Structure 1
């Protein structure tokens, strides 16, 4: 496979006459100013991985019966595969400079790209609301501890939340909206210093405090349950699969971030530090903290906030609670806001910018009443889980198209052209080959992920989704394989050097 030549899209053109206004705006155009260096990508992953949910996931594997070293090894293998996926998608994002929904136009068509964009947006909006609500719950607990007089206002019910609950939810919603409304550069600065590093301080403090209390009598080889070797192997492999499935959302839209990186090295090294290294160490700290909690409190505690609350020091409780609230906001911004902001803007670029798409996402996150979603396991496991199973086939289609069908040759001008003769117009703006690959792969992946009879293999449903979608797309695209071209030509309104391709024949 030929390696695509490195190019940049440093200049953001004014709207050229050949571009369709309903496909183009400044936020969807190739990135102009690129300021995301290695540390910013590293901090992005700290913001994403230092979540209470990831702590609970790692601690839960230990409680289920794996030893500390088995949990660490399983998560290291899983996150290393995730790291490879991020680098593959990051290459396309950095090289073209366009966000995920625009990159998806290459394989799905200039209008068909709204299909993967909306799938990603629906998942993100639902979880954006849920994460905002979870942060507000922690804020309510903190507020009542600091001001006990508020307790009576936590027992009434107004559309599912108490008075204090609504105030906390509204405050968390507003704080995030202020950050997000200032654009990607502000998001970068906030995540660089206000999320991941703070959580590490608290996690190291908790692990150290518990180790001292336990007289350092914590084993990395003991199991809490008597799982057989076969059961331990299955749990370990399942942990690998679930780790990859969890990060499938960000693999899909990683171009949203890689497009702003200063070089290929910046996102690759940032990914290396933030994923295999940082995630694995965080998982190890989570397991050690859980083991320490068992030694000190006599029970497994998989919620770090609860451990903080048991330390008899009000300052530790306040600082710890605020830190984990901040961490929840951090993962929410990275994983659940940026993508729908771009995805919704892609629906109507003439009217919707990144900020307007983000505002719509934030409003929808309230209207879905996330506290009701989260309290309904049917909705969480089947609706949100089912949508997540659809992401793996989308990732496969984008990567197979970029690396094996196009071989990295993308004409940026054509991504914003609605002419029937356009390279990515296909049939009425939709590539039927992408749909023929996506639908069966999504059905199979969704059935394996959601039907109880397949629960044993559900952690690996994404594997079959990737294989089916990738193979079908590659074979069906044989008739539109691009001819070899010079590695670089002037494109994007003659303002940047970028690879291109000859226009494929309609499928």
Structure 2
């Protein structure tokens, strides 16, 4: 939880680039982008939507990332600025709860991919699917526990090991998807269909493009909230800007080009639209190449899971029990929770996915709005890092018994708006813009309620900062 010393900040522009190189190319993102073809958007329109979303994300991630670089603290400590020393548990646990469930679900989905590949190589392994325990067959258990253990080993060595893994996985993923695209181009005779139906035009086209761009930003609503967990280790603001630029706008367009090529070539071959790059991998005729491509997809899934769904709950638990847990202990507990919740049963329950995870996810927009409004507009980026660690009434972030009730009330008001946008059918027309509307509601509610008189002392935390060891 302590600030990171300046000399110990090892995340450079390449580190942040590979962070996005992994996450942007996640299988879930491919499924989302490919699904836009089914909605009647052309390849060019999809590239335009992704480009708009990437520019918006570039700006939002810089705003969030600069906070981590300035203070050197993780998201739970950053939340104390707006919510108070104790009140920070609210945004921290909300973010951690969403992540820990998705960690289990993503590991389960990766285990499903691994199970299929195991059977492809060793058909006799199919017999292990005939018996089950707690809702999952034996082969599924073996694959799940194997992937679960690999992730626990990586994360137990801290953020530096995560940085190294992301740096390793990034080039693997980019080369893998580029190779798949080139192979499909040759398979189709370089015939890429830019549309899979009657393309949209006029107002309908622009509405679809901006709606898709807004949904694309919403997918990253978790990252823009706790990006400081990573940028607390950034060497400079320039590293954040460069990493975000190459990792978002440029990498996003590369991602879009891969989507268009894979989907367009497959459609030109047999008139069918793939649902995921896994479909392309499964069609590779050479067993060795199929295994290599499958391994790359598993490397990707682990990379995405580590950054998106493991770091946040680990910091949340450390913040909840700061005197009892270090990063490794919290990571092991987070992973164990991700196992004991039996995520395959949760994934197979639409009610849990929609109402529990959807409801918690809807609250992340208001949280972002409140934290950004407080940091940039109320405090003008002037932070007393030393006082973020004072739990007595003399600290400027103690507020009332450790809680800034103005921020809590603003969250309650904006959360009602966010939940209405998420679940009321009549609001479906503005559904794609729910994250932006929720963020705006949070910011406006907080600006209306917040005190304007604050101690704006700008004091860094270098005197109490530590050099992480792993």
TM-score range, shorter chain: over 0.9
The residue aligned with 2:426 is 453
The residue aligned with 2:333 is 360
The reply to whether residue 291 of structure 1 matches residue 264 of structure 2 is yes
CA distance in 1, matches of 2:273, 2:207: 22
The residue aligned with 1:425 is 398
| Shift in alpha-carbon separation, 1:251–1:44, aligned structure 2, 3 A | same
In structure 2, which of residues 144, 150, 154 is the aligned counterpart of residue 175 of structure 1? Answer: 150
The residue aligned with 1:51 is 26
The residue aligned with 1:40 is 15
Structure 2 SS opposite 1:469: helix
- Residues 344-423 of structure 1 mapped to structure 2, 5 A cutoff: 344-423=317-396
Gaps of 5+ in 2: 466-470
Structure 1 SS opposite 2:132: coil
The reply to whether residue 476 of structure 1 matches residue 449 of structure 2 is yes
The reply to whether residue 336 of structure 1 matches residue 309 of structure 2 is yes
Report the TM-score when normalising by structure 2: 0.95
The residue aligned with 2:159 is 184
1:480, CA displacement in angstroms? 3.9
CA distance in 2, matches of 1:80, 1:286: 19
| Shift in alpha-carbon separation, 1:433–1:293, aligned structure 2, 3 A | same
| Shift in alpha-carbon separation, 1:31–1:390, aligned structure 2, 3 A | farther
Structure 2 SS opposite 1:457: helix
Cα deviations by residue, 1:330-374 (Å, 9 ceiling, x for unpaired): 100010001111111111101111212211110111122111111
CA distance in 2, matches of 1:380, 1:273: 33
The residue aligned with 2:174 is 200
Cα deviations by residue, 1:41-99 (Å, 9 ceiling, x for unpaired): 10111121111111111111022210101001111111211111110011111000000
Structure 1 SS opposite 2:133: coil
Structure 2 SS opposite 1:455: helix
1:260, CA displacement in angstroms? 0.2
The reply to whether residue 87 of structure 1 matches residue 70 of structure 2 is no
1:462, CA displacement in angstroms? 1.5
The residue aligned with 1:502 is none
1:223, CA displacement in angstroms? 4.8
Structure 2 SS opposite 1:168: helix
| Shift in alpha-carbon separation, 1:97–1:493, aligned structure 2, 3 A | closer
Structure 2 SS opposite 1:337: helix
In structure 2, which of residues 170, 192, 203 is the aligned counterpart of residue 218 of structure 1? Answer: 192
CA distance in 2, matches of 1:493, 1:173: 36
| Shift in alpha-carbon separation, 1:309–1:493, aligned structure 2, 3 A | closer
Name which of structure 1's ranges 119-128 and 468-477 shifts more when overlaid on structure 2.
Answer: 468-477
Gaps of 5+ in 1: 1-26, 497-507
CA distance in 1, matches of 2:51, 2:5: 33
CA distance in 1, matches of 2:274, 2:385: 51
Do the aligned residues in 2 keep the contact of 1:31 with 1:98 (CA within 8 Å)? no
The reply to whether residue 107 of structure 1 matches residue 47 of structure 2 is no
CA distance in 2, matches of 1:466, 1:206: 38
Q: CA RMSD in A?
A: 1.6
The residue aligned with 1:22 is none
The residue aligned with 2:468 is none
The residue aligned with 2:112 is 137
CA distance in 2, matches of 1:261, 1:255: 9
CA distance in 1, matches of 2:206, 2:439: 23
Cα deviations by residue, 1:137-180 (Å, 9 ceiling, x for unpaired): 11111111111111111122211111111010000000000001
CA distance in 1, matches of 2:41, 2:348: 29
**Relative to total residues, which structure has the larger helix share, 1 or 2?**
2
The residue aligned with 2:102 is 127
Structure 2 SS opposite 1:224: coil
Cα deviations by residue, 1:5-52 (Å, 9 ceiling, x for unpaired): xxxxxxxxxxxxxxxxxxxxxx43344511011100101111211111
Name which of structure 1's ranges 414-423 and 331-340 shifts more when overlaid on structure 2.
Answer: 414-423
Report the TM-score when normalising by structure 1: 0.88
Structure 2 SS opposite 1:152: helix
CA distance in 2, matches of 1:115, 1:55: 32
The residue aligned with 2:93 is 118
